[in-house]
Chain A
Amino acid sequence: MNLASFDPVAAVLLIPIGSAALLAALPGYRLTARLNVVASLATFLAALCLFLIDRPPPGPYVLVDDLNIVFIVLNTFVGFTTSIFSASYIAHELETGRLTPAYLRFYHAMYQTMMFGMNLAFVSNNIGLMWVAVELATLTTVLMVGIYRTHAALEAAWKYFILGSVGIALALFGTILVYMAARPVVGEGQDGMIWTILIEHAADFDPALLNVAFVFLFLGYGTKVGLAPLHAWLPDAHAEGPTPISAVLSGLLLNVALYALLRFKILLAANPTAIAPGPLMVTMGLVSVVFAAFMLYRRRDIKRLFAYSSIEHMGIIVFAFGMGGPLANFAGLLHMVMHSLTKSAIFYAVGHISQIKGTQRINRIRGLTVTHPALGWGLVVGVAAIAGLPPLGIFMSEFLVVTSTFARQPLLAIVLVFGILLAFGALMLRLTSVAFGRPRGSTASAEASYVPMFAHLALVLGAGIYLPAPLVAWFQNVARLLG
């Protein structure tokens, strides 16, 4: 097959959905877990091909531009590494009997369906289709959060489902309002929902209607980003589901909602008379950072601890995009990539740790660096990265966010730094007790897959020391696009 007839966009969508059907039908753990890895790898390779091909012109449904390529490649890469982690994690769950083979089949099929939903949300040029895709991705994660069927898991899934549905309903109302605003200008029918057409004519839309639409979209998709005070579903969903799902929730699904938000932010910014979306995003971002930083101190469950840390980081990212301008956008984009890589690496470590220790309670886990050096030190590096210690990647992106804010709004920067330092303290406090000291809990050896975790950490470390020039140029270009 030559490159001309190969359509990576179709491949990114068809490989996950095709393998979902296959995985639903095939029995056996070994085969399906491997197939899951292979399918995820193939999707990742197809996503890389997006760099090589000539972009297809934006159609009524599909759009490929500089912005969503970043998201798709990140999404498929973390999806691929998580599938490797998932293979060893799930093997242990089968041994302990927490998952039965029937549920395993369901789990793998849902994993690929979720990848399909997320990729579809990224490539869609139609705001209605994007909404449907986000809904699909949410629904599949709801089902996976509840997969253990314990009381706590069902309750977490239910809470996630109800809050997610409300968010998604508000987002749909906002989408309808955008169409209403577009209709007098671009005419009835499909054109009123195609993003590239909307953005061309955005300047002529009724600003009042667009403002209300953005408020609904912000609340709707913001619920799914996990912004305080709409975050209530997030810690439960992270704590009670299988850990690979926690990793993709934090690393990927929050990004999908963020991406939807960014698309509408660009739309609003194109209309000079509408409200600037920035202040709204800055406020919610800051509230999330400070709130999550305080909440980190009270966590007793290790997965919930990192779930709150995700809220904090999504807050920083939304804050950076809200500030806008080339530098802050660049920093927000970089922070998003670094956060996805680091947080999923942490969840890989935490998944194996909680399997070995048989608990997620922080005070029952001690001295990991002594008993399990690879996992323990992996966790130490991961938490050091997420807390923002140099020379790791998150230090650089946080530094950029803070300095660019200091130059423009020193007061906001002080609040932001306060939140980041507070979170730093909480994470270090918990890290020292978990990683060092006299070992506590089971010391059984781990059958862990270290490759995904260390691959992510190496990337984060590498990015902290040296960012390749083409990557910087690409991100700068996207940052300009974001306005």
Chain B
Amino acid sequence: MQMHSLAFDISHTLAGGLVLISFMMLYQDRLYSLLNVFALHALVLAMSVAWQAFIQDAPHLYLTAVIALVFKAIVIPVALHRIVKRLGIHRDIESAVGIGPTMLAGMGLVALSMVLMLRVTADADPLAREDLAFALSVVLLGLLVMVTRRNAVSQVVGFMSLENGLVLAATGAKGMPLVVEISVAFSILIAFIVIGIFLFRIRERFDSVDVSALDDFRGERR
């Protein structure tokens, strides 16, 4: 019993740590520091997945943990660092919304996911339900990062943190098949995007808020 609650506490701490690091992403205003925080996010995810592999006795999850560690915590941040340097965009991040409102929105989203998930999973086992609640928080915070940033690189970082939340959810769902395959598929997807950013030199700020500018640009307006 003692052992079980320790297992529970550790996975709880790691998943909660992911949510906190997602919050840290919200207020980074430089690309380099955002990338560093993301590397930390991926590191904690790798630890969390490895811990799940240990307590669930599911050796294939170690593979997912290794992918998270090597690919997301090391390769991608390093590659993005170099791209940022090469494209000369290591200045401030322009965020569409100020830090204060963003943090408040983030808190609202976390509260929402806690209320929602804890309520609907009332009779699932406690480990899985806490895990799922944290995972949804990470997913929603990742979405928030994506909508508050206009720079392609930081949108990708937001997407990757969102995806970390999905991996957390998938590993928390005990015995779920295809987890490794899905994490590999996601890694390929991300590699595609990073290569895409570099090859196509997407350095413009993609403004998802002001659609009228787009319409002008396309000659959609008379």
Q: Say whether A and B bind each other.
A: yes
Q: List residues of chain A with CB under 8 Å of any chain B CB.
A: 126, 128-129, 131-132, 135, 139, 146, 149, 151-152, 154-155, 158-159, 161-162, 165-166, 169-170, 172-173, 176-177, 179-180, 183-184, 188-190, 192-193, 206, 208-209, 211-212, 232, 236, 239, 298-301, 304, 361
- Which residues of the other chain, B, contact A135 by a CB distance below 8 angstroms? 185, 189
Given contacts A155-B206, A162-B146, A300-B220, contact A149 B200 (CB under 8 A): yes
How far is it, in angstroms, between the C-alpha of A470 and the C-alpha of B120 when the chains are bound? 45
How far is it, in angstroms, between the C-alpha of A301 and the C-alpha of B152 when the chains are bound? 27
Enumerate 20 A-B pairs (CB-CB under 8 Å) in ascending A order: A135-B189, A139-B192, A151-B204, A152-B218, A159-B208, A162-B146, A162-B155, A162-B208, A173-B136, A176-B166, A176-B170, A179-B176, A184-B124, A189-B175, A190-B177, A193-B177, A212-B117, A239-B218, A300-B219, A304-B220
Q: Is the interface of B mostly helix, strand, loop or mixed?
A: helix
Q: Is B6 an interface residue (CB 8 A)?
A: no
- Which residues of the other chain, B, contact A301 by a CB distance below 8 angstroms? 218-220
Q: Is B24 an interface residue (CB 8 A)?
A: no
- Which residues of the other chain, B, contact A177 by a CB distance below 8 angstroms? 132
- Which residues of the other chain, B, contact A206 by a CB distance below 8 angstroms? 120-121, 123-124
- Which residues of the other chain, A, contact B123 by a CB distance below 8 angstroms? 206
The reply to whether A300 and B222 contact each other, CB–CB distance below 8 Å, is yes
CB-CB nearest in chain B for A363: B222
The reply to whether B152 and A158 contact each other, CB–CB distance below 8 Å, is yes
The reply to whether B200 and A146 contact each other, CB–CB distance below 8 Å, is yes
Which of B146, B182, B204, B220 touches A132 (beta carbons < 8 Å)? Answer: B182
How far is it, in angstroms, between the C-alpha of A149 and the C-alpha of B178 when the chains are bound? 35
Which residues of B125-171 are within 8 A (CB) of A?
128, 132, 135-136, 139, 143, 146, 152, 155, 159, 162-163, 166, 169-170
The reply to whether A132 and B143 contact each other, CB–CB distance below 8 Å, is no
Q: List residues of chain B with CB under 8 Å of any chain A CB.
A: 116-117, 119-124, 128, 132, 135-136, 139, 143, 146, 152, 155, 159, 162-163, 166, 169-170, 173-178, 181-182, 185, 189, 192-193, 196, 200, 202, 204, 206, 208, 211, 214, 217-222
Minimum CB–CB distance for B53 against chain A, Å: 15
Given contacts A132-B181, A169-B162, A173-B169, contact A299 B132 (CB under 8 A): no
Which of B122, B177, B202 touches A128 (beta carbons < 8 Å)? Answer: B177
Interface centre among A129, A146, A161, A170 (most CB of B within 10 A): A161
The reply to whether B169 and A176 contact each other, CB–CB distance below 8 Å, is yes
Minimum CB–CB distance for B89 against chain A, Å: 15
The 7 closest A-B pairs by CB, nearest first: A188-B175, A208-B120, A128-B178, A190-B177, A176-B169, A300-B220, A212-B120
- Which residues of the other chain, B, contact A176 by a CB distance below 8 angstroms? 166, 169-170, 173, 176
Minimum CB–CB distance for B143 against chain A, Å: 6
CB-CB nearest in chain A for B171: A176
The reply to whether B200 and A162 contact each other, CB–CB distance below 8 Å, is no
The reply to whether B175 and A183 contact each other, CB–CB distance below 8 Å, is yes
Minimum CB–CB distance for B81 against chain A, Å: 21
Given contacts A128-B182, A135-B185, A139-B192, contact A165 B220 (CB under 8 A): no
CB-CB nearest in chain B for A127: B178
The reply to whether B159 and A162 contact each other, CB–CB distance below 8 Å, is yes
The reply to whether A211 and B120 contact each other, CB–CB distance below 8 Å, is yes
- Which residues of the other chain, B, contact A183 by a CB distance below 8 angstroms? 173-175
The reply to whether A129 and B221 contact each other, CB–CB distance below 8 Å, is no
Which of A152, A192, A299, A300 touches B217 (beta carbons < 8 Å)? Answer: A152
CB-CB nearest in chain A for B121: A209
- Which residues of the other chain, B, contact A193 by a CB distance below 8 angstroms? 176-178
The reply to whether A180 and B219 contact each other, CB–CB distance below 8 Å, is no
- Which residues of the other chain, B, contact A126 by a CB distance below 8 angstroms? 178
- Which residues of the other chain, B, contact A304 by a CB distance below 8 angstroms? 218, 220
- Which residues of the other chain, B, contact A152 by a CB distance below 8 angstroms? 217-218
How far is it, in angstroms, between the C-alpha of A170 and the C-alpha of B193 when the chains are bound? 19
How far is it, in angstroms, between the C-alpha of A482 and the C-alpha of B174 when the chains are bound? 31
- Which residues of the other chain, B, contact A239 by a CB distance below 8 angstroms? 218
